[in-house]
Structure 1
């Protein structure tokens, strides 16, 4: 039976990943800095509180549990929040990664364990054309979050080449799916729509920039890509995880309203506080490298994902 550690174990992606791994027969431990919120995951998913600054504590965990795989998901995941909390974003995403990789390097499992570091499409930052972004696209991050994740990818490459750790780096584009917290586009829209459905909110939806186009992939497809990368990815390499299809925020909102129970009479208001200091009009990826080496392709349609997100909020808004 394989063993896996998922850092950031109480997060949105970690819950879906843990369920996927457990269904495949893994023993899973999740780690968190703040223990422990109510979880809606399998009871066999153990959560441990750990100080992410404590290299010795990480080393003890690795030597005792002896994982086959480590999925490093922990960090600050909001681009907009990174503009308000630059130092804590760098600490959460970069410094904590250094501590974990140092612990792995010093552990008894350093030769055998497979490690997935998770970056972001925000690493690419400013792009010079409107073509699909490949792994060869230069990194020009423009947000504090993007800078932190680009630094993680460089760190992963260094530890792979210098210390021979088995590290693969994933660059996922926009995640969506049931269970995602507020502060992300589909959750923000869906919560407002369901509040209108339940009569808890006037038929008005506050939005940011609706013209921007992004590449959206369901979280359940994304975690399957992570598992495939552990099985067939090449250590030291970087892989985009995306749908390859740009969709505007306007089309996402229209689709959510269309499949809801309040498809008429909603007023859309622009909220200036939801705009980012810097943005780009169209941003989408190319996942052909991931497909070629692992066979992965996205399976869940956008419509299916949006319906599941609405259903999630229907059960969580009382």
Structure 2
């Protein structure tokens, strides 16, 4: 069986490749920027350069690979960047998805497509609406979330109109080793390790520490994607999250307690987001009914992220 991962060079792609290989699938991947590829990844999968916004490139790649499964990770996945580059976000996330679905339709390939969405689609959520199920009203609050909702609607259309085999996720925050420091746990871990090595002064500038978020280890995320590919129902959406919420403060405290250096934590107004939801917690019962459950607790994830940054110093 052949599995194609679009955007394999991203944070999740390498982990997903490992999961699929461990389950005896032949893994293929597309990438946009060769500079972001790791040598290790190049040994695992057969790789193709592909611009998801180029319909001819997409069709040629799908025709050559003839995949049984397609995990569509290629995306502009930053809500913040989507405000700065809304046109680019829509082009990549919406037109890119159309290019993929059209290639499958035209080539009459019987691929199962797993479209990766985001919990950002839920937008502003009242505290009383937690944990958030797939039935929760979608209230997009940025261009990125609009693009992901549109991606879902396209999937529904192609499923109903053409009988295509598509399943979708709404993935909550995920983290782990190798994640870029633009994300909170990786950011804190990197800066704490830098402080311990004397690279920067022992001051940690932070944003809103009271917000509670659902974090899932990336290694559990990719196991969820594999289970959804195998057992998910055509046309259905599955939340992917831990089912637990943690305050940013408690996650930071865990990291600070492990440090041998006293670190001064200072609030930085530039890092504050006044519109932050106070609580976001995933209802993952629908996914659990497929036989999945998270295996890695948050403390182990943080330990592994700290170890990753320590190794890179």
SS at match of 1:41: helix
TM-fit CA distance, 1:218: 0.3
Q: Which residue of 2 aligns with 1:168?
A: 167
Q: Which residue of 2 aligns with 1:50?
A: 50
TM-score (norm 1): 0.94
Please say if residues 53 and 92 of structure 2, whose CA atoms lie closer than 8 Å, have aligned partners that are also in contact.
no
TM-fit CA distance, 1:18: 0.5
SS at match of 1:150: helix
Q: What does 1:301-312 correspond to in 2, within 5 Å?
A: 301-312=297-308
TM-fit CA distance, 1:16: 0.4
Please say if residues 212 and 248 of structure 2, whose CA atoms lie closer than 8 Å, have aligned partners that are also in contact.
yes
Q: Which residue of 2 aligns with 1:60?
A: 60
Distance in 2, matches of 1:93 and 1:30, equals 18
Deviates more, 1:38-47 or 1:7-16: 38-47
Distance in 1, matches of 2:28 and 2:231, equals 22
Distance in 2, matches of 1:251 and 1:225, equals 26
Aligned length: 311
Distance 1:218 1:118, change over 3 A: same
State whether structure 2 residue 138 is matched by structure 1 residue 142. Answer: no
Q: Which residue of 2 aligns with 1:203?
A: 202
Pick one of 255, 260, 265 that aligns with 2:262. 265
Q: What does 1:222-301 correspond to in 2, within 5 Å?
A: 222-259=221-258, 261-262=259-260, 264-276=261-273, 278-292=275-289, 294-301=290-297
Gapped runs of 5+ residues in structure 1? none
Q: Which residue of 1 aligns with 2:40?
A: 41
SS at match of 1:31: strand
Distance in 2, matches of 1:155 and 1:183, equals 30
TM-fit CA distance, 1:277: 6.3
Q: Which residue of 2 aligns with 1:11?
A: 10
TM-fit CA distance, 1:156: 1.3
Distance in 1, matches of 2:127 and 2:203, equals 35
Q: Which residue of 1 aligns with 2:185?
A: 186
Gapped runs of 5+ residues in structure 2? none
Distance 1:45 1:67, change over 3 A: same
Please say if residues 208 and 271 of structure 1, whose CA atoms lie closer than 8 Å, have aligned partners that are also in contact.
yes
Tell me the alpha carbon deviations over residues 102-142 of structure 1, each in whole angstroms, 9 at most, x when there is no partner.
11111131xx2110000000101122343210000011011
Distance in 1, matches of 2:274 and 2:47, equals 36
Distance in 2, matches of 1:62 and 1:83, equals 31
Distance in 2, matches of 1:40 and 1:218, equals 23
TM-fit CA distance, 1:80: 2.2
Pick one of 119, 122, 133 that aligns with 2:120. 122
Q: What does 1:307-318 correspond to in 2, within 5 Å?
A: 307-317=303-313
Deviates more, 1:268-277 or 1:224-233: 268-277
Please say if residues 127 and 278 of structure 2, whose CA atoms lie closer than 8 Å, have aligned partners that are also in contact.
no
SS at match of 1:117: strand
Tell me the alpha carbon deviations over residues 158-213 of structure 1, each in whole angstroms, 9 at most, x when there is no partner.
11111111100001100110011121101110110110111111111111111111
The structure richer in helix per residue is 2
